[in-house]
Amino acid sequence: MDAVDDTTDKRTNEGDEGSISDADEAVHSVRYKRKKVNEASTSGSVAAGAGAGAGAGAGRTSGLYLDTIQRFMLDFDFEKVCSVSLSNLNVYACLVCGKYFQGRGPTSHAYFHSLHENHHVYINLNTLKVYVLPDSYEVTDSSLDDIKYVLDPRFTPAQVEALDKNSRQSFDLNRKPYLPGFIGLNNVKANDYVNVVIQVLVHIPPVRNFFMLQTFDDKSELVKRFGTLVRKIWNPAAFKGQVSPHELLQEISNASNRQFKLTKQGDPLAFLSWFLNTLHRDLGGSKKKNSSIIYSTFQGELSIESQSIDTNTPKGSVVSFDPNNAVTKIKSPFLFLALELPPAPLFHDEQERNIIPQIPLTAILSKYDGKTTQETASELKRFHIIRLPNYIIFHIKRFSKNNFVEEKNPTIVTFPIKNLSMAEYVSDPEKENALGLHYDLLANVTHEGDPATPGSTSYKVHLQHRAKEQWYQIQDLFVEEINAQMIFLSESYIQVWERKSKA
Answer for the pair 340, 397: CB distance below 8 angstroms, yes or no.
yes
Query: Nearer to Zn ion by C-beta: 93 or 341?
Result: 93
Instruction: For the CB of residue 65, give the shortest distance to Zn ion in the complex, in Å.
Output: 12
Instruction: For the CB of residue 101, give the shortest distance to Zn ion in the complex, in Å.
Output: 8
Instruction: For the CB of residue 266, give the shortest distance to Zn ion in the complex, in Å.
Output: 36
Report strand pairing: 379-387 vs 300-308. antiparallel
Binding mask 52-91 for Zn ion (x = CB under 5 A): ----------------------------------------
**CA 230 distance to own-chain centroid:** 6
The number of residues that bind Zn ion (CB under 5 A) is 4
Answer for the pair 231, 212: CB distance below 8 angstroms, yes or no.
yes
Report strand pairing: 170-171 vs 137-139. unpaired
What's the CA gap between 494 and 9, in Å, rounded?
A: 40
Query: Nearer to Zn ion by C-beta: 116 or 175?
Result: 116
Query: Nearer to Zn ion by C-beta: 109 or 148?
Result: 109
Instruction: For the CB of residue 117, give the shortest distance to Zn ion in the complex, in Å.
Output: 5
Query: Nearer to Zn ion by C-beta: 96 or 365?
Result: 96
Instruction: For the CB of residue 69, give the shortest distance to Zn ion in the complex, in Å.
Output: 10
Query: Nearer to Zn ion by C-beta: 104 or 119?
Result: 119
Taking CB under 5 A as the criterion, which residues in 106-165 touch Zn ion?
A: 119
Instruction: For the CB of residue 122, give the shortest distance to Zn ion in the complex, in Å.
Output: 8
Instruction: For the CB of residue 97, give the shortest distance to Zn ion in the complex, in Å.
Output: 3
- The one-letter amino acid code at 270 reads A
Answer for the pair 425, 392: CB distance below 8 angstroms, yes or no.
no
Query: Nearer to Zn ion by C-beta: 95 or 194?
Result: 95
Instruction: For the CB of residue 123, give the shortest distance to Zn ion in the complex, in Å.
Output: 12
Taking CB under 5 A as the criterion, which residues in 85-114 touch Zn ion?
A: 94, 96-97
Query: Nearer to Zn ion by C-beta: 94 or 252?
Result: 94
Taking CB under 5 A as the criterion, which residues in 377-416 touch Zn ion?
A: none
- The one-letter amino acid code at 109 reads H
What's the CA gap between 103 and 91, in Å, rounded?
A: 6
Query: Nearer to Zn ion by C-beta: 95 or 441?
Result: 95
| Backbone phi, psi, residue 230, to 5° | -55, -45
**CA 61 distance to own-chain centroid:** 42
The angle at the Cα of 365, spanning 198 to 500, to the nearest 5 degrees, equals 60
Give CA torsion, residues 488, 491, 493, 496, to 10 deg. -10
Query: Nearer to Zn ion by C-beta: 66 or 262?
Result: 66
Answer for the pair 80, 128: CB distance below 8 angstroms, yes or no.
no
Nearest residue to 443 via CA among 389, 487, 385, 390: 487
E strands, 203-334, are 242-243, 300-308, 328-334
What's the CA gap between 136 and 148, in Å, rounded?
A: 19
Instruction: For the CB of residue 99, give the shortest distance to Zn ion in the complex, in Å.
Output: 5
Write down how long the chain is: 503
Q: Which residues bind to Zn ion, rule: CB under 5 A?
A: 94, 96-97, 119
